[in-house]
Structure 1
Amino acid sequence: MSDSPRTPAENAELALLLEVAGTPKPGNVDRRRDLDDLRFEQFLAGSVGSAAGLRLAAEGVPVGEAFDHAVAGMSRQSGGNTQFGCLLLLTPLVSVAAADELHREAVRDRCRATTVDDAVDFYRAFEHVDVAVGDPPEGVAELDARHGSDAAPALRQREMTLWDVMALSADPDDGVPDTNAAEWVEGFPRTFDAAESILADDGPVLDRAAGCFLRQLAAEPDTLVATTHGEETAREVRQRAESTLAAVERTDSLDPAEELAEAFVDEGINPGTTADRVAAALFVALERGLTV
């Protein structure tokens, strides 16, 4: 079981707080940088607001219902969507951590066991905040997440579980693959690998979070950047992160990432999906004994 002095729900809330407090995280809100439409304190409020839904996940409430409650609570601040993607990853992780040993196979099994009702609750969560999503694959326009609860009849007719929805998003016939959805269907491999890198690192936890963010951003294109700016821009962002990561490792300092952070904010580049995965990795690391 967990090596943490906190409950899984408490660790999830703490992971959200640690994620946004880490700096520099190029293009994202952190304790030194706000965006034009999102501020640091709104993320803090979103983290606290999500706690009730995360507790429901720990108590064994179905994943979709707990997620909907977490997003509803997160939305009770003035910034809108602060942590929708983080909660999508954290909810099944908390559910497993509270009931079982937290490992990839158990998380994958929990995700595979989701139901059509979970999918309906997931779609309902889109009614609480505006979420940047791409167009649905050709031929399934009725499954556009932006329909919210109105998509319920189509989900029920197709008998689409939440796992099925994630599988469709992870590997669409056209459009941008969603790496958060890929985590769901693949057993969270990036999340668990990133957690191990955080545990193997040293220094303050917030510096470890910033380093993890940069490594994740350098590893593959960010889904949110690809959705909002195009896949070519997402590839260029990854390459710039890779160059910056090399400078960070060469100098053993996060200073080179400060310049990239300022540049991405100026350019409106917001790698939010990468931040989601860092929050999930911090949760796993906390469950495995990361000291704060």
Structure 2
Amino acid sequence: MERWRIVRAFTLGPLLEAAVPKPGNVSRLRDFDDLTLYHFLFADTAVTGVYYEAVKTAELLRKGILEPREAGLGELIKRAVQASREAQDANPNFGIIALSLPLIMGMTIGRNMLDARKKARLLIEESTVRDTMEFYRAIRIANPKGIPSGVKYDVYSDDSFRELFQDGINLAKLAEMSCERELIFCEWLNEYELSYSTFGRLYELIKELPLEDAVVRAFVELLATNLDTLIVRKAGLEEAKLVRENAGKVFAGELSVEEFDAFMRERGDLRNPGSLADVMAVSLSLLVLRGLRIELRNGRVWGIIGRP
């Protein structure tokens, strides 16, 4: 797959995700006090150079010049997070970076979009302890909300690096331990099952609905069927379950999307979905890779797959 096609897709997908007015999220219509659409614009475009380098590294992997354990995935994630942080002062895209980079490399190594899932999982499995250490450094730079302290392999404890080395914790082992706390790790382990199923759902919805309506519907479906792990970390399990319950009420006709959005914003950013928004960003990137373009029909933007 052509280098810039991959980089463009994984740049445009997150920008679309940020722009569309989805319940509880920053969008082209709504900001939070400490996070705006501009943060996403600057952050998501700041990482393109690292994404391009990831594609070039993956080409060496495909040719057998490098082994999977030499992919340097942790270093690439850290450098992308650093580039994002240098462009703005918040954390709009750590999860997107962590999800996207293995898949970007998988797209380059694999035969097609489906094979890319398996190659991304291979890179996670073949990663090294150094990758995990660099991933920890990336977390420190991004400083996401809700990261627990005082736990084994504490991200913010310098002792964790010694513990990671002694116990041989690569990214796959880290993901296995942390899947319940962070959806991104589950996606690493299950070959991006939720991202690809959401991509498939978007592919069907854009045939029936304008692009923004299709994205909002798919996103509310995600919220109605999954717990957002960022909400769990910030506000607790019961709050995350309440979000899931109310998302289900939208499809039962008990709440409008507008009422659901108002509920999501009642407590500032505590109910702001993060992990599922990251999944949506990657799903939109897959849709772009599949050939997404837009057409204006009666003042509404529609997503079209294929050439005009």
Counting only pairs closer than 5 Å after superposition, residues 39-58 of structure 1 correspond to structure 2 as 39-58=36-55
Q: Which residue of 1 aligns with 2:63?
A: none
Which protein is bigger by CA-based radius of gyration? 2
Do residues 129 (structure 1) and 142 (structure 2) align? Answer: yes
Provide the aligned C-alpha RMSD in A: 2.2
Superposed displacement of residue 264, structure 1: 1.3
Q: For residue 207 of structure 1, report the CA deviation from its aligned partner.
A: 3.1
Choose from 47, 64, 67 the match for 2:74.
64
Matched AA of 2:40: F
1:251 matched residue in structure 2: none
Q: 2:109 aligns with which of 68, 77, 99?
A: 99
Contact 1:18 1:209 in 2 (8 A): no
Q: Which residue of 2 aligns with 1:112?
A: 125
CA contact 2:55–2:105 (8 Å) conserved in 1: yes
Q: SS of the residue aligned with 1:37?
A: coil
The alignment partner of 2:141 has SS state of: coil
Match of 2:201 among 192, 197, 200: 197
* Distance (Å, rounded) in 1 between the aligned partners of 2:75 and 2:212: 31
> Which 4+ stretches in 1 moved above 6 angstroms?
none
SS in 2 for 1:291: strand
| Conserved 8 A contact 1:54-1:67 | no
- Contact persistence 2:231–2:239 (CA under 8 A): yes
The equivalent residue for 1:174 is: none
Counterpart residue number, 1:26: 23
- 2: distance between equivalents of 1:206 and 1:46? 22
Higher relative contact order (CA 8 A, sep 6+): 1
Paired letter, 1:286: V
Q: Which amino acid aligns with 2:171?
A: L
Distance 1:206 1:74 in 2: 26
Distance in 1 of aligned mates of 2:290 and 2:227:
28
Task: Point out where structure 2 has 5 or more consecutive residues left out of the alignment.
Answer: 58-70, 295-308
Match for residue 146 of structure 1?
A: 156
Q: Secondary structure at the match of 2:35?
A: coil
Give 2:124's aligned amino acid: C
Q: Structure 1 pair 156/214, CA: closer, same or farther in 2 (3 Å)?
A: same
Counterpart contact for 1:134–1:227, Cα < 8 Å = yes
- Residue number in structure 2 paired with 1:160: 169
Structure 1: how far apart are the matches of 2:203 and 2:169? Answer: 37
- Percent identity between matched residues is 27
CA distance in structure 2 between the partners assigned to 1:261 and 1:28 by the alignment: 9
Paired amino acid for 2:97? L
**Post-superposition CA distance 1:16-45 (Å, at most 9, x none):** 10110111x111111111011111111111
Aligned partners of 1:44 and 1:207: how far apart in 2?
Answer: 21
- Between 180-189 and 196-205, report the one with greater CA deviation: 196-205
Aligned to 2:216: 210
Aligned twin of 2:234: 228
What residue is the counterpart of 1:265 in the other structure? 265
Q: Is the 8 A contact 2:121 2:189 kept in 1?
A: yes
Alpha carbons of structure 1 residues 75 and 247: separation in structure 2 relative to 1, 3 Å: farther
Deviation larger for 65-74 or 77-86: 77-86
Is residue 53–residue 71 contact of structure 1 (8 Å, CA) maintained in 2? no
**Do the aligned partners of residues 196 and 154 (structure 1) sit closer, same or farther apart at CA in structure 2, a change above 3 Å counting?**
same
**In 2, Cα distance between equivalents of 1:52 and 1:220:** 33
Name the amino acid aligned to 1:91. L
Matched-pair contact (CA < 8 Å) for 1:18–1:206: no
Deviations along 1:162-204, one digit per CA (max 9) or x if unpaired, are: 1111111014xxxxx3211111111111011000011111244
Provide the TM-score with structure 1 as the length reference. Answer: 0.86
Greater CA drift, 127-136 or 96-105: 127-136
